[in-house]
Amino acid sequence: MDFVAARKVMVDSQVRVNDVTDRGLQAALLTVPRERFCAPDRAWSAYGEVEVPIAGDRRLMQAREVAKLLQALDARPGERALALAAPYAAAVLAALGVSVTAQEADFAVLDVVGEALQDLRVATVVAPLAEPAGQDWDMIVSEGAVAVRPTAWLDALRVGGRLAVVERSGPNGRAVLYVRGREGVSRRELFDAAPAILAEMTPAPAFVL
């Protein structure tokens, strides 16, 4: 399979036509080998309009949704980003000149994506996703949905920092952008999306007598 040609078709037919107008982001998407971020036996489906298995219950978010999240973040070279369960987004941010740390909770996922992240100059850390590594991030992004307010993620942002994530309840979800200000956090809805909810970002089960 000609992955370079497939990557161009993806950007032309899935990204540009979905209001992703940032030319720098488009160029970065053309350089990142998406096929290296999914299960090896599913590399052929990396550029389709589907979520592709990585390992276990983790899936690669659709490219157009990743692109729209990253465009909302308005990444600038030299900024620091934390990618929580977002290895492909991490690689694209690195291609934009951002200093990126990819945080995963599952070694099985890193077994699939770790070599690609290393090759693309992305640092990795293994830790529970509900507990972001470090503080004062310029950006945080996740390719998995959350079903609870990501308070710890918001607390890890510096003033002016941004968080792009999908909030999901039941079958429906909305991508949102949070921005931390000096006096609080603002929230703006972006677009419909429904990736799988991260297991660590679900409500605690209610106690029933």
What residue spans of the chain are helical by DSSP H?
Answer: 3-10, 23-31, 63-73, 87-95, 107-119, 151-155
pLDDT at 110: 95
pLDDT for residue 209: 55
> Cβ(175)–Cβ(191) under 8 Å?
yes
Model pLDDT, residue 13: 96
39 CB-contact burial (10 Å; exposed 0-12 / middle 13-18 / buried 19+): middle
Which of the residues in the chain have pLDDT under 70? 204-209
pLDDT at 125: 96
Predicted pLDDT at 31: 97
What pLDDT does residue 89 have?
Answer: 98
